[in-house]
Amino acid sequence: MTAAQLAERVRARSSDVVVQRGEAMLVVERDELLEVLAWLRDDPELRLDFLSSVTATDRPGHEPRFWVVYELYSGEHRHRLRVKVGATEEAPRVPTVTGLFPTADWHERETYDFYGIVFDGHPNLRRILLPDDWEGFPLRKTEELGGVNTRYHGAFIPPVDRRTS
Amino acid sequence: MSDLGAHASAELTADSTAELRQETMVINMGPQHPSTHGVLRLLLELDGETVVSCEPIVGYLHTGIEKNVEYRTWQQGVAFVTRADYLSPFFNELAYCLAAEKLLGIEAPPRAQLLRVLFCEMNRIASHLVWLATSGMELGAISMMLYGFREREQILDIFEAATGLRMNHAYVRIGGVVMDLPEGSTGRVGDFLETMTGRIDEYERLLTKNPIWIQRNAGIGVLPAGDALAFGVTGPTLRASGVARDVRRDEPYAGYETFEFDVVTREGADCYARYAVRIEEMRQSLRIVEQCLERLREPGPVMVEDPKVRWPAVLEVGPDGIGNAPSYITHIMEESMEALIHHFKMVTEGISVPAGEVYVPVESPRGELGFYVVADGSNRPSKIKIRDPSFANLQAVPEMVRGGLVADTIAVIASVDPVMGGVDR
């Protein structure tokens, strides 16, 4: 199915779907996330039963601040769909999809690790790549890049993000 | 007396074994263990020699590549992402550049695409050779390690001649590749093709029917197709479970639809099937490389013409290595102020990419390597997410080792071929 046909098919159920640069993207409400993903997975014409990736984006000052992004693929029909669900700054929570896609386990842990998104119902929501006692969520835009302040022969070389504009 | 004694000792034995059974031992395998392929740590719960449960612990090689790229220009990003999965640098570069090109709405010229395919397939062979060499070593076939690294060295020499580096090449660039092949490269690749075909046959003579190799691999670490898909497994590990899925064929990029090759599958779903798949994939890669060489006879540009996109450089190999050609230096330093301004702007500020988001998958040696890239219209990526195949594939390891022996855990990890640089990023 082409992205346009896919979007047409999805629109029958969920209206907020667009096609950009040949990729179909669907925005869903948090309450309906699990229901929609289950439908996308099981619908014989869509069969989006392979979850490639889960991540999030962060735009401070926007509402919602975070978007959690799911990349779905259908091996049978060879088409892809991106599903996005918003999460607010005050309550960055979305339900876990590990019940539908076991592979989401580590992907959601990574998203929690990097962005502090809490996946309600996740069986083991701990940090995965950063140390357990790390403070903060480093891929949030409000976090600095960090780095090592370097002093050499009296010169001070600041972390890289403070060297450029 | 003797009757009583026998009874008592029998009771004692039954009791103590029952007690022993209840006690399992938790041990750490890794992160500093040569056969965990880098810094992978496995928390193993053992009942004697049997694995009761296994938890992979990752993150020891986390370098914050995704965060770093947000602070660099679009072109600089290439030099960062190439370091993620360090055994498949060309794939990281390619997926990143394809994503940026998709956002820009441009396409690299045909010759650049050919070179990308050529280097990716050579890289696939090199990566599979490292896997074969290290797996062989871990299971006792030491000679395989020597042979595997010997042939890989040949490939790395070709990479070095063309890109200046053996790894982390930053050769694929937004809009094409950094420079055309140096004189004599196609001949070297041709020589390699000739020897490699026979070498793969030699590996097979060494291993395929070797009773010890079969014993260590056949029936070990079985992962049925359904489980593999649920865990997000892709690449040779998935194809060894009988699922013919390959991004090169299913969602072609860089002109793969014009090449003839087979998607290799096996039904065994065990370590041996994964071995068989990778061996045959090396042959298929050689086929693709051969087709590349044929088409590379046609000269052509290797970078888009648009001066607002192309990297401002004319590279040449000089006596001190690869660098800007003296003629280009003279042009910007002595002849044209506009050219100097343009050069300066492109190098420091870089290109701006229109706002949007894309997800671009490629077939790396380990499976679906996807780049989700978000642009906000500025000269830096707003976000990149590397969907690394090893990251997803590792999730299936507990399932594959449960109920098996500790020694088989080694075979299973080897058969999944995880690269921690990609997992931890």
CB–CB of B25/B11 below 8 Å? Answer: no
Which of A4-13, A85-94, B177-186 has the largest mean confidence? A85-94
Same domain, B73 and B88: yes
Q: How far is A144 from chain B (nearest CA, A)?
A: 9
What digits encode the pLDDT tens for the residues B195-215?
A: 998 999 999 998 888 999 999
Q: How many residues does chain B have?
A: 425
Give the H or E element holding residue B191: helix B185-207
Q: What mean pLDDT do residues B370-378 have?
A: 94
Which region among B139-148, B273-282, B320-329 has the lowest average model confidence (pLDDT)?
A: B320-329
Residue that finishes a domain, picked among B295, B321, B350: B350
Torsion of CA B279, B285, B290, B291, to 10 degrees: 140
Domain that holds residue B341: 310-350
Please report the residues numbered 346 through 375 in chain B whose beta carbons come closer than 8 angstroms to any beta carbon of chain A. 356-359, 361, 368, 370, 372, 374
Residue type at position B161? A
Query: φ and ψ at B301, to 5 degrees?
Result: -70, 150
Q: What mean pLDDT do residues B116-145 have?
A: 92
Domain membership flag for residue A65:
yes
Same domain, B317 and B359: no
What digits encode the pLDDT tens for the residues A107-155?
A: 999 999 999 999 999 999 999 998 888 888 989 998 877 766 666 677 7
Same domain, B147 and B163: yes
DSSP states of B314-342: -EEEETTEEEE-HHHHHIIIII-HHHHHH
Q: How far is A139 from chain B (nearest CA, A)?
A: 6
What digits encode the pLDDT tens for the residues B280-337?
A: 999 999 999 999 999 988 888 999 988 888 888 888 877 777 788 888 999 999 999 9
Cα distance between residue B386 and residue B369, in whole Å: 7
pLDDT at residue B1, as a whole number: 41
Tokens (6 digits) for B311 = 């990297």
Q: What is the ipTM of this complex?
A: 0.90
pLDDT at residue B5, as a whole number: 47
Nearest to B293 by CA among B150, B191, B178: B191
CATH number at residue B192: 1.10.645.10
CB–CB of B232/A52 below 8 Å? Answer: yes
**pLDDT grade for B366, boundaries at 50, 70 and 90:** very high
Same domain, B15 and B74: no
pLDDT at residue A85, as a whole number: 94
Percent of chain A with pLDDT over 70: 93
CB–CB of B189/B293 below 8 Å? Answer: yes
* A44 secondary structure, DSSP code: T
pLDDT at residue B2, as a whole number: 46
**Counted domains in chain A:** 1
Alpha-carbon torsion B325, B328, B333, B339, what sign?
Answer: negative
Which has the higher per-residue pLDDT, B84 or B319? B84
pLDDT at residue B225, as a whole number: 92
pTM for this one? 0.89
Same domain, B387 and B271: yes
* B257 secondary structure, DSSP code: G
Domain membership flag for residue A131:
yes
Nearest to B125 by CA among B152, B144, B92, B143: B152
CATH number at residue A20: 3.30.460.80
What digits encode the pLDDT tens for the residues A44-99?
A: 888 999 999 999 999 999 989 999 999 999 998 999 999 999 999 999 999 999 99
Nearest to B374 by CA among B96, B108, B171: B96
pLDDT at residue A150, as a whole number: 62
Same domain, B90 and B103: yes
Q: For chain B, how far is it from start to end, CA to CA, in angstroms? A: 70
Same domain, B144 and B225: yes
Percent of chain B with pLDDT over 70: 94
Residue type at position A156? F
Tokens 């993207």 found at: A25
Same domain, B271 and B178: yes
CA distances to B7, B11, B116, B414 from B1, rounded to whole Å, are 10, 15, 84, 56
Instruction: Tell me the average pLDDT of chain B.
Output: 89
Picking from A23, A47, A73 by the largest number of B CB atoms within 10 A of its own CB, the best residue to mutate is: A73
Same domain, B148 and B260: yes
Domain membership flag for residue A156:
no
Residue B424 forms contact with A (CB below 8 Å): yes
Same domain, B210 and B326: no
Domain membership flag for residue A163:
no
Nearest to B206 by CA among B154, B273, B143: B143
Same domain, B296 and B326: no
Domain that holds residue A60: 3-137
Q: Please compute, for residue B137, the number of CA atoms within 13 A of its CA located in the half-sphere on the CB side.
A: 14
**Counted domains in chain B:** 3
Domain membership flag for residue B104:
yes
Q: How far is A50 from chain B (nearest CA, A)?
A: 7
Q: Specify the 3-state DSSP secondary structure of B101.
A: helix
Instruction: Closest CB to B229: pick one of A20, A21, A50.
Output: A50
pLDDT at residue A116, as a whole number: 93
Greatest pairwise CA separation for chain B in angstroms = 111
Same domain, B388 and B414: yes
Domain membership flag for residue B363:
yes
Nearest residue on chain B to A41, alpha-carbon basis: B230
